[in-house]
């Protein structure tokens, strides 16, 4: 090993310590830290994020990367190290243009905006969040101006969360979907709806926690390399492939909510637990493409979790844990978990109308960064679009524009990833069935492990080393298209609703 490579590896190991504790501080703030202790954690998070940022943009690192990028050194590296050097050099060239004090201010503002968002949502008072949102918009644009000067801000943001999927591609995919889904949803909503009476009532929270564990074990979440916490807004986070954590929120009157959140976050976690462990603690490990990531959480949540056969092997156990389910047949259950409604909350939406929740957010984000719509006008714009796509209007901002935390930490451009994930899922499903046969049959036979193994080998293993376009090309051998997803929706809901 060259002297520079050795030094570089030691440097990465040290930088990883700072990233490790910022991850931990974040986890703890969202799952454990009491209210009065938040400020202490924000201080520490700011301090250590800044330390990591300083290391990641330091002259020392820059010189090592320059040396390792020289042909004679580069050619001697293994493939993983080649990826790491190339990727870090690219990121560093962008990030080093951010002034340290602005980065530090941004991290602190993110944490403060997160707290303000929580307070605003609890009080359903947009005015509490508005100044923080304005600040996050301005600072996010400012950061994009440093990293990618001269580029359109929203394009920079889209690329940040789903590299290789530009806004022209996203516009095309979303327009294709809209064209087909608007009439489909109209047809569905006009059809006979199932009776959901049996799903009303109070469902024991402790039993819901046990159901979550049942589901996680069933889909293949490793407890050896995983942990579970409780939070306001469910999320997944990982230190490396050996420590991946999900969090959930239990609602006494909404038993399906925590179940599908568990499957969703479990899908994210299974991805991270199965990345090549050689990539741990480097830019090759973990998956940094949010569309690809969401494709896996949503594959488990929707393609598998909303399939009747997914439940066959475990439905009796579900009834043992939550006795109300003994009174609900599997057919009734299946109908309810695919009950299409025009509803207000994204995370509670069925898989079809969910698409509109994302398209709405995508269009609002474009309105913010391209049309510069003022922050005080956003709730109205939100409500208008809810009316347009779903025919309903939020009763207050907590169930409208304040429902999601994403904008509070400046994650503008993240939302489209969810729908891209579903679009990829349509493609993955068709390929998987070509290679392994019917998913219905695999699930009914209790062979969900074979599906997970396929996803592990085709997608998870590669972590961040393949960008989304490459993932799709490698798995499906085709360009990205919304057609498979549209076919999936049409077939499934035509059957369910007798259209």
- Compute the distance between CA of residue 14 and CA of residue 66 in angstroms, rounded to an integer: 19
- Comparing CB distances to a second copy, the nearer of 216 and 451 is 216
> 265 catalytic, yes or no?
yes
| Residue 34 touching a second copy (CB under 8 A) | yes
Site of tokens 């046990």: 210
Per the CB < 8 A criterion, the answer to whether 415 and 368 are in contact is no
- Nearest approach, Cβ of 179 to a second copy (angstroms)? 46
| Residue 406 in tokens | 């994403």
| Residue 243 touching a second copy (CB under 8 A) | yes
Q: Other CB atoms closer than 10 Å to residue 163's CB: what's the count?
A: 17
- Compute the distance between CA of residue 400 and CA of residue 404 in angstroms, rounded to an integer: 9
Residue 447, exposed/middle/buried by CB under 10 A (0-12, 13-18, 19+)?
A: middle
- Nearest approach, Cβ of 13 to a second copy (angstroms)? 8
Per the CB < 8 A criterion, the answer to whether 203 and 329 are in contact is no
- Comparing CB distances to a second copy, the nearer of 3 and 224 is 224
**Helix or strand holding residue 412 (H, E):** none
Catalytic-labelled residue, pool 63, 224, 254, 265? 265
Question: Alpha carbon 11 to chain centroid distance?
Answer: 30
- Compute the distance between CA of residue 160 and CA of residue 151 in angstroms, rounded to an integer: 13
Region of 14-22, 168-176, 400-408, 475-483 interacting with a second copy (CB under 8 A) = 14-22
Residue from 37, 99, 323, 449 touching a second copy (CB under 8 A): that is 37
Per the CB < 8 A criterion, the answer to whether 355 and 202 are in contact is no
- Comparing CB distances to a second copy, the nearer of 210 and 254 is 210
| Residue 216 in tokens | 């996680």
**Helix or strand holding residue 230 (H, E):** strand 226-230
Region of 21-29, 70-78, 334-342, 375-383 interacting with a second copy (CB under 8 A) = 21-29
Site track for a second copy across 251-290, x = CB under 8 A: ------------------------------x---------
| Residue 35 touching a second copy (CB under 8 A) | yes
Residue from 48, 310, 334, 493 touching a second copy (CB under 8 A): that is 48
| Residue 239 touching a second copy (CB under 8 A) | yes
DSSP assignments along 440-495, one per residue: HHHHHTT-HHHHHHHHHHHTGGGTTSS-HHHHHHHHHSS---SHHHHHHHHHHHHH
Q: Which of 269, 418, 312, 296 is nearest to 356 (CA)?
A: 418
The three-class DSSP label of residue 226 is: strand
| Residue 17 touching a second copy (CB under 8 A) | yes
Site size for a second copy (CB under 8 A): 35
- Compute the distance between CA of residue 47 and CA of residue 58 in angstroms, rounded to an integer: 16
Region of 170-178, 211-219, 224-232, 303-311 interacting with a second copy (CB under 8 A) = 224-232
- Nearest approach, Cβ of 62 to a second copy (angstroms)? 23
- Comparing CB distances to a second copy, the nearer of 229 and 379 is 229
- Compute the distance between CA of residue 235 and CA of residue 265 in angstroms, rounded to an integer: 6
- Compute the distance between CA of residue 106 and CA of residue 260 in angstroms, rounded to an integer: 33
- Nearest approach, Cβ of 223 to a second copy (angstroms)? 7
Per the CB < 8 A criterion, the answer to whether 143 and 106 are in contact is yes
The residues facing 247 across adjacent strands are 229
| Residue 25 touching a second copy (CB under 8 A) | yes
- Nearest approach, Cβ of 38 to a second copy (angstroms)? 8
For the segment 152-211, give every residue that binds a second copy (CB under 8 A). Answer: 206
- Nearest approach, Cβ of 207 to a second copy (angstroms)? 9
Residue from 1, 6, 10, 32 touching a second copy (CB under 8 A): that is 32
Residue from 21, 141, 340, 432 touching a second copy (CB under 8 A): that is 21
Q: Side by side, which strands form the sheet with 236-240? A: 226-230, 243-248, 236-240
| Residue 28 touching a second copy (CB under 8 A) | yes
Residue from 97, 233, 242, 341 touching a second copy (CB under 8 A): that is 242
- Comparing CB distances to a second copy, the nearer of 277 and 313 is 277
Site of tokens 């579900």: 318
| Residue 219 touching a second copy (CB under 8 A) | no
Region of 43-51, 212-220, 258-266, 299-307 interacting with a second copy (CB under 8 A) = 43-51
For the segment 52-71, give every residue that binds a second copy (CB under 8 A). Answer: none
| Residue 24 touching a second copy (CB under 8 A) | yes
- Compute the distance between CA of residue 347 and CA of residue 234 in angstroms, rounded to an integer: 10
Catalytic residues: 265
The contact set with a second copy (CB under 8 A) reads: 14, 17, 20-21, 24-25, 27-28, 32-37, 39-41, 43-44, 47-48, 206, 222-227, 229, 239-240, 242-243, 245, 281
């Amino acid at each position: 090993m060259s002297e520079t490579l050795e030094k570089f590896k030691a440097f990465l190991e040290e930088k990883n310590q700072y990233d490790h504790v910022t991850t931990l501080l974040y986890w703890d703030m969202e799952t454990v830290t009491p209210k009065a202790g938040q400020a202490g954690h924000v201080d520490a998070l700011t301090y250590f994020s800044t330390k990591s940022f300083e290391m990641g943009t330091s002259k020392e690192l820059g010189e090592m990367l320059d040396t390792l990028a020289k042909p004679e050194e580069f050619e001697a590296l293994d493939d993983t190290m080649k990826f790491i050097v190339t990727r870090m050099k690219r990121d560093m060239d962008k990030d080093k243009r951010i002034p340290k004090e602005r980065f530090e201010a941004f991290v602190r503002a993110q944490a403060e905006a997160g707290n303000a968002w929580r307070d605003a949502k609890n009080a359903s008072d947009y005015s509490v969040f508005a100044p923080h949102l304005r600040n996050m918009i301005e600072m996010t644009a400012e950061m994009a101006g440093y990293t990618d000067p001269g580029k359109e801000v929203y394009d920079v943001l889209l690329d940040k969360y789903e590299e290789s999927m530009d806004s022209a591609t996203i516009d095309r995919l979303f327009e294709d979907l809209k064209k087909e889904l608007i009439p489909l949803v109209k047809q569905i909503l006009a059809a006979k709806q199932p009776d959901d009476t049996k799903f009303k009532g109070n469902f024991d929270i402790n039993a819901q926690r046990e159901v979550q564990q049942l589901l996680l074990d069933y889909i293949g979440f490793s407890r050896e390399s995983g942990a579970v916490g409780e939070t306001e807004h469910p999320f997944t986070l990982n230190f490396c492939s050996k420590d991946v954590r999900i969090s959930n929120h239990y609602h006494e009157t909404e038993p399906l909510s925590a179940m599908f959140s568990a499957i969703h976050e479990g899908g994210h976690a299974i991805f991270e637990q199965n990345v090549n462990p050689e990539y741990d603690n480097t830019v090759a490990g973990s998956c940094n493409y949010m569309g690809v990531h969401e494709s896996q959480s949503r594959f488990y949540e929707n393609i598998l979790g909303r399939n009747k056969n997914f439940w066959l092997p475990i439905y009796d156990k579900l009834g043992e844990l939550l006795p109300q389910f003994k009174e609900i047949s599997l057919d009734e259950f299946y109908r309810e978990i695919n009950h299409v409604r025009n509803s207000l909350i994204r995370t509670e939406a069925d898989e079809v109308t969910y698409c509109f929740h994302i398209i709405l957010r995508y269009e609002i984000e474009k309105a913010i960064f391209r049309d510069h719509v003022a922050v005080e006008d956003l709730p109205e714009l939100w409500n208008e679009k809810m009316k347009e796509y779903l025919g309903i209007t939020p009763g207050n901002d907590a169930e409208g524009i304040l429902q999601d935390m994403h904008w509070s930490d400046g994650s503008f451009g993240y939302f489209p990833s969810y729908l891209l994930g579903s679009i990829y899922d349509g493609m993955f499903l068709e390929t998987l069935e070509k290679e392994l046969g019917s998913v219905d049959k695999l699930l009914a036979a209790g062979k969900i492990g074979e599906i997970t193994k396929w996803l592990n080998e085709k997608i998870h293993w590669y972590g961040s080393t393949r960008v989304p376009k490459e993932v799709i090309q490698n798995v499906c051998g085709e360009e990205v298209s919304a057609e498979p997803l549209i076919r999936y929706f049409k077939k499934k809901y035509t059957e369910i609703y007798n259209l």
